[in-house]
Amino acid sequence: MKKKNTKTIEIEIINYGAYSEWDRESNELPKFMALTNTVEAVIGAEFGMIVEIRKAKGRYLDFLIEHPPFTDESGAVEPPFRSTFRVKHNPFQFFLGDSIWAPVEDKRGPWKLSILLEDEVLISKTIMIT
C-alpha cells in the first residue's frame, strides 16, 4: 500500500466567521467582517473561513461542507457538498463558505467546513448558524 504524502502541504486558517457578500465568479476573496464561531441565520449572511495553502502548487484538493439537514426543491434531503479545486500558486488563499438563503429555519445548526487531500482531512472549522 502506497503511503500518502501529506507532509509537504502546509495549510492554516487565516480567519473565519462572517464575511461580506462574495461574488463567486470573481478571483477576489470576500471581505472579512468578524471573527466568530456563530453567525446569525439572516438571508444573505456570508460565513466560512479563509485558508492559506503552501507547498501545494498545481495539486488538487477537495472541500467538504457538512450542513444541517435541509431539503431541495423536490423535498429530498441535500447531502454534504463536496467539490475539487486546484491550488493555483504558492501561497494560495482559498475561501470556503456559504451564505444563508430562505427558508432560514433549516439552515440553523453546525456547518463543518473541511479541506481534504483525497479522504484525509487537512483542516476543518465548524461555524454554528443560530
Q: Where are the domains of the chain?
A: 10-129
* Residue 107, helix vs strand vs coil: helix
Taking 50 as the threshold, does the pLDDT of residue 2 lie above it? Answer: no
Tell me the pairing of strands 38-39 and 120-129: parallel
Euclidean distance between CA atoms 32 and 9, whole angstroms: 25
Tell me the pTM.
Answer: 0.89
How many Cα atoms sit within 13 Å of 81 on the Cβ side?
Answer: 13
Render pLDDT for 62-74 as a digit per residue (tens, 0 to 9).
999 999 999 988 9
Residue type, 126: T
Locate 3 and state its grid cell. Answer: 503511503
The stretch 78-93 carries a mean pLDDT of: 96
Which CATH number is correct for 10-129, 2.102.10.10, 2.60.40.2390, 2.30.30.230, 3.40.50.970?
2.60.40.2390
Taking 80 as the threshold, does the pLDDT of residue 103 lie above it? Answer: yes
